[in-house]
Amino acid sequence: MEEKTDIFICDKSRRMLWVPKRRFIRSLQDFLNSVDFLFGYVVCPLYNAAWIVESFMILVLYSVLMLLDFIAELLSISSTMNRVLRGIAILLILFCIPLLLYSLGLILFGTLRAVLCILIVMFGFIPVLFRYTYPLQRTVIFLNFVKWPHIEDLRTPDKYGLSATRNFYITTDEGVTLGMWHILPASLMNDSINANDSFYEEALSHGEPVIVYMHGNSGSRGSPHRLELYTLLRNMNYHVVAFDYRSYGDSSPVSPSEMGVVSDGKYVFSWVQERAKASPLYVWGHSLGTGVSSHALSLLAQEGKKADGLILESPFNNLRDELKEHPFSKLYRQLPWFEFFFVDPVGENQLLFETDRHLGSIKSPVLILHAEDDMVVPFLLGKRLYNTAIQIRPKDAGRVEFVPFDKNYKYGHKYIYKSPDLPQIILRFVMQKKLD
């Protein structure tokens, strides 16, 4: 009979537990006990202590930087000198405070080492990696690696509650295959039973307004908040044509770039316009899609093509300003070298998305929708875009309208569709075009 032995292991509450085990796994249990002790009594305290010190330093850092800004404004110090003072203050605070705490015996050497490692990674390795790695810049901006919902589900829109919806694919002149949905307006849903592809394409020319939807980064045309917007527009009796750019959803796995996704948007618009004929045709862009749609329509204007209107939901004015104002940049934007490492390389790699420039070439009416509590694209960027647009657009261009949504409604970055006022806002925008 195989011998049994008694093994004592520690659970998460640090109580000793008696566990009967066979001899051949005793060594494994001893190893697990050692790991449990190491992480529970050595690594975790150092890790927690390191982050406590980091939090304290960041608090001190922001306080000092705010004080420097106040002094610079009070004494009329030049911006260059203020940046130099900021750099000195940051280096002193980030590296001298932990050394001082260690010399005073307030932290252990292990904690000091952990703090310095975190600082080197956060303020050294990450900025350098971002500046000199274009694939990383591209990934952070497009977030095309976020694949949700699952690609195979996009073939069956019915699973998302979208009946009377055609899933299909088109191939651009660059050889890129784009996955697309055509959601019929409410008035045509009953006629779509057993309908073929020709029925859907011919329906675009029936006269109901057609909206080409260009989504933001991450996810696909089947993301939940996008589905809600499609449903709202369908109930308003609009056609909706939604598609995924290259590398998104089930479109071709081609690495994205600004000109790449803009080219996809141009091709889809032209494809729809050819079939819509005299039907009113609008473009709706959301978040990054506002940069794509405005750039695409700007280039199409050079070809003599235009939309009946452009709707920009949660837009930024240009990508440089978005990087500066994004919540994730708060940790770095106070650094004097922030633009060199995080902003300049994006522009050097032609990731610009300059909506505030492209609107100057678009004569279509523009409707800007922005929630005051948007934490991804700050409200001030949408307002800044509006102020720029009304100044740079030609005199014969359509009007520009800015509609803010109060922060108390908590619509944030992607829930403006929940506003009970949105259908009336859209209807007024569409009807005004007819009156014009």
Where do the H-state alpha helices sit in 302-361?
A: 319-325, 338, 344-348, 355-358
- In this structure, what are the phi and psi dihedrals at residue 91, rounded to the nearest 5 degrees? -65, -45
Residue 187 burial (10 A CB sphere; 0-12, 13-18, 19+): exposed
Measured from the Cβ of residue 282, the count of other Cβ atoms closer than 10 Å reads 24
Closest CA to 286 of 340, 367, 205, 175: 367
Residue 211 near residue 233, CB atoms below 8 Å: yes
Which of 247, 294, 374, 419 does the annotation list as catalytic? 374
Structure tokens at 151: 């690609």
For residue 287, indicate whether it is catalytic: yes
Which of 182, 295, 358, 413 does the annotation list as catalytic? 413
Locus of tokens 């030609």: 394
Structure tokens at 234: 């369908």
Query: What's the Cα-to-Cα distance from 82 to each of 56, 87, 89, rounded to whole Å?
Result: 23, 9, 10
For residue 264, indicate whether it is catalytic: no
For residue 413, indicate whether it is catalytic: yes
Query: What's the Cα-to-Cα distance from 53 to each of 50, 56, 95, 115, 131, rounded to whole Å?
Result: 5, 5, 11, 7, 28
Which of 287, 293, 314, 364 does the annotation list as catalytic? 287
CA distance 294 to 57: 42
CA distance 226 to 213: 9
Distance separating the N- and C-terminal Cα atoms of the chain: 94
Question: Would you name the residues annotated as active-site residues?
Answer: 287, 374, 413
